[in-house]
A and B are shown apart, each in its own frame.
Chain A
Amino acid sequence: MKHILAVLVENKPGALTRVSGLFSRRGFNIENIAVGETLTPGISRMTITVEGSETLIEQVMKQLHKLINVIRVSNLSAEPSVMRELMLIKVRAEVGNRSDIQQIVETFRGKVVDVSPNSMVIEITGNEEKMEAINLLLEHYGILEIVRTGKVALLRGSKITKEA
């Protein structure tokens, strides 16, 4: 099963290396990782997607917690949470099929953020299924390049992932 971990880390040099290094050296499979600042200066939040059994995830969380720069680790998959990812897709778009593409993008509530004589760049936000679905549809026109941010997630409701 896939688990989404929210990891609050002190924004110190090497913190990201310590976290990512831990995954490779302990043989944990990291699916994706997204990092950004939080409301508190000096503290960053990593959202890490890991595939594995309950026992493995428990071990991953404990090992992460052992890192001195890691302040808190929580498993967002254990509770209701919202998860999003942003993707930019560059798709081949000739004059004849632009409006078709435009329609697909609107259906998925995406945005066209760049147009050139024979291509378009589309911005799309959502969960994994949505990303896969639009990719499948756009493949027909020819996808030139994609880039994804990795997943970010928050707990639903007013509960927050606190630092202490």
Chain B
Amino acid sequence: MKKKLTKGSVMILSALHKEGVEIVFGFPGGAVLPLYDQLYDDPIKHLLVRHEQAAVHAADGYARVTGKPGVVFATSGPGATNLVTGIANAYMDSVPLVIITGQVPKSFIGTDAFQEADITGITIPVTKHNYLVKNIEELPEILSEAFYIASSGRRGPVLIDVPKDIFDQEAYFDYNCQCDIPGYKPTYKGHVGQVSRAVKAIRDARKPVIFGGGGLIRSEASAALCDLAETAQIPVILSLMGLGAYPGDKPLFLGMPGMHGSVTANYALTEADLIIATGVRFDDRVTGKIESFAKNAKIIHIDIDPAEIGKNVAIDIPIVGDVKLVLEELVRKLRPGDTADWLKQIYTWQEKYPMPLGACSDDKGLKPQFVIRELSRLSGKNTIVATDVGQHQMWSAQHFIVREPCTFLTSGGLGTMGYGFPAAIGAKLAAPDKKVICISGDGSFQMNIQELATAVHNDIDLTIAIINNKYLGMVRQWQDIFYDKRYSYTSMEGSPDFVRVAEAYGAKGLRAANNKEATDAIEQALNTKGPVLIDFIVAPEENVYPMVAPNHPINDIIIGGDQE
């Protein structure tokens, strides 16, 4: 067969087709024009955002829901640098992305040309890998490597920077999805000896807990996790990134641990004699003061990334491998366990320390916790939640019942305000049959408010719930507790009327300032097609509790607030 010469831009779109990509998130510009010209006639869809950061977040939301890499196009210079926050966000939360940026033509590289930025240099620390394409012959291999690296092992973003002239150059195009990269051989199967040691440890444990994270979701390990928990009767604690990996309404679920975790989860980790850590990285928000973390426990740590094992906490039984495969192996070798005494202790804590429902008196305004609970109750199953960052994020993690994996999208590692709304748009495109709710704050929402145009123009059916307390609430909370109530620049006075902003963009806007209005607005929003924004005017000084002060032991908890 005679091989045909193929243009760079055509190679990129062919690779996307071969990888099963259905939609690209992006924003065009000078250096990426040839690629956009090719895209004009291509069946691959493109979501035009209003700021490049939103393109990455939307692709990230899409990737978290589908498990497939999200794909982003942007131009050189400012287009590329605007992506950086989104890329860093995806890197911290191990989200698979393939980002293609245009670059100034090869002969201009290094001359400070118009819209030139060294985006491969800039993104080395925040990508799993990146490439600057130097000649057209290497483009096919780079494309297949990028997809392979992004979506295997510990997932992550990969960036390909393509000089403008490369898009128009031609070479032979042989695309092979099977890559062999000498320096990249992820371990999937757990070491047999280590798995046996883990089985023994689980059998011997009297007070075991499973502590799971985002790795469970990325490796689609929910079913295996449920089997393990239920067979051996082991309670489950999930990190913010892990929410949904185990159904939030089951009795063995103890909630989230750490700074704003449930009292029960923190007590259980502290008292446990065995922690089965799966797909977690022992973030400081979870461990609190590291020296006092889980002092009584033996720790089994299962993770695909060997560098996470022993990074923050000393591990007794390390198992490098795919969390799902390893959990399935454990389940095969385990017999039903009896942890009745331990569970009795746990249920006593649960009864004594339910999630606080808000301390502010009713005349201070709507309680944010009530809003989240109503959102959870009224949306029911088959709902995806994307949050922004701050108090509303923690209340969502505490009060929204997350039943399924890939339905709770949040910026866990980087804590990126502005993530939620574009991620929700990406999520809706990934799962058109699911209800999508973006829970945001009056601070966070303004970081990507321009995406209302994207949502309206593309008729994205979602609900935006703004928990509006007229503050950067979480920062204000810290000022309240640790800085003597000196609210230095945390007031959001001067914010626009969100209802009218929504209407100006052509979306529906609703406002709720009491319980009845809140319930009514949520019902109305969920039953309205297209983007609906609800501005919930909540008690301004409500704080998130329980709370563990930074670098305190996680059983040293400020319980705070009224209880259920």
Contact = CB atoms under 8 A, between A and B. Distances in A.
Instruction: Indicate, yes or no, whether A interacts with B.
Output: yes
Interface of A: 9-10, 13-14, 17-18, 21, 25, 55, 58-59, 62-63, 65-72, 163-164
Contacts of A10: 182-183
Nearest to A68: B129
Nearest to A24: B125
Nearest to A69: B183
A68 B184 contact: yes
B124 A71 contact: no
A17 B124 CA distance: 9
A69 B131 CA distance: 11
Contacts of A68: 128-129, 149, 181, 183-184
A65 B182 contact: no
A75 B45 CA distance: 49
A23 B311 CA distance: 15
Given A13-B134, A62-B306, A68-B128, 18 more contacts: A9-B183, A10-B182, A10-B183, A13-B132, A14-B120, A14-B121, A14-B124, A17-B124, A25-B125, A55-B310, A58-B310, A59-B307, A65-B307, A66-B305, A67-B183, A68-B181, A68-B184, A71-B183
A62 B312 CA distance: 13
A17 to B, nearest CB: 7
5 contacts: A14-B120, A55-B310, A59-B307, A62-B307, A66-B305
Contact of A66 (B120, B124, B307): B307
Interface in B491-505: none
Contacts of A66: 305, 307
Contacts of B181: 68
Given A10-B182, A68-B149, A69-B183, A63 B128 contact: no
A18 B124 contact: yes
Interface residues of B, number: 18
Nearest to B158: A68
Given A18-B124, A21-B124, A164-B182, A63 B149 contact: no
Nearest to B149: A68
B285 to A, nearest CB: 19
Contacts of B149: 68
Interface string B178-196: 0001111000000000000
Nearest to B121: A17
A164 B181 CA distance: 11
Contacts of B306: 62, 65
A58 B314 CA distance: 12
Interface string B109-134: 00000000000110011001100101
Q: Max chain A CB contacts within 10 Å: which of B149, B182, B306? A: B182
A70 B183 contact: yes
Interface in B176-226: 181-184
Interface in B59-87: none
B535 to A, nearest CB: 41
A21 B125 contact: yes
A11 to B, nearest CB: 12
A10 B182 CA distance: 8
Interface in B299-322: 305-307, 310-311
The 10 lowest CB-CB distance pairs between A and B, nearest first, are A62-B307, A68-B129, A71-B183, A71-B182, A70-B183, A68-B184, A62-B306, A25-B125, A63-B307, A66-B307
B134 A59 contact: no
A62 B187 CA distance: 13
Q: Max chain B CB contacts within 10 Å: which of A65, A66, A69, A70? A: A66
A72 B185 CA distance: 11
Nearest to A21: B124
A92 B134 CA distance: 48
A150 B66 CA distance: 49
A66 B305 CA distance: 8
Q: Max chain B CB contacts within 10 Å: which of A9, A62, A67, A164? A: A62
B161 to A, nearest CB: 11
Nearest to A66: B307
Contact of B182 (A13, A14, A62, A163): A163
Contacts of B128: 68
